[in-house]
Amino acid sequence: MSVRILALVGSLRAGSHNRQLAEAAVKVAPEGSDIQLYEGLADIPFYNEDIDVEGDVPAAAARLREAAAAADALLLFTPEYNGTIPAVLKNAIDWLSRPYGTGAITDKPVAVVGTAFGQYGGVWAQDEARKAVGIAGGKVLEDVKLSIPGSVTRFAETHPADDAEVVAQIAEVVTRLHGHGTDQAAA
């Protein structure tokens, strides 16, 4: 049974280290895991109930909801902007939380990881993302974590997929998420 994992990256920057970390996750995914790196978070309008109308949801938001609904689990990659979660990732979580109680991530396993320049690797942003996605209905895997500090220097000349320590760590995250996603896929 294939486990479909939707990866959302909270940085839109072309050279984003979190994007590179997501690419590494795709490379090390265990057999039976299909990780889809979602493209298009930049196209989704800010959440507004006035435009979240059944049958008339903005196309970019509808695509995100469809992708999340088709996934067995989600893997969020977040940098830390001013001590918290980036707006683009929070906006995606807001769209996925609706309709209230039946959003596309309701009861789905969600892991949050990331890398940031600071000495703690974006822990605050990851904690905020876990809080938001849990309130939104996701089943947050509190024991599946990865915070990589010093991204600007650590990945200045090395892609995360070429860093043996990072590869082992992200492989462990994906393997554990895969296990939770297997349960979801079987349900």
The pLDDT, as a whole number, for residue 187 is 63
The span from the CA of 136 to the CA of 128, in Å, is 12
The pLDDT, as a whole number, for residue 53 is 94
The span from the CA of 35 to the CA of 101, in Å, is 25
Give the tens place of pLDDT for each residue, 15-61: 999 999 999 999 999 999 999 999 999 999 999 999 999 999 999 99
Give the tens place of pLDDT for each residue, 32-44: 999 999 999 999 9
Other CB atoms within 10 Å distance of the CB of residue 158: 11
Q: In the chain, which stretches have pLDDT less than 50?
A: none
The domains located in the chain, with CATH, are 3-186 (3.40.50.360)
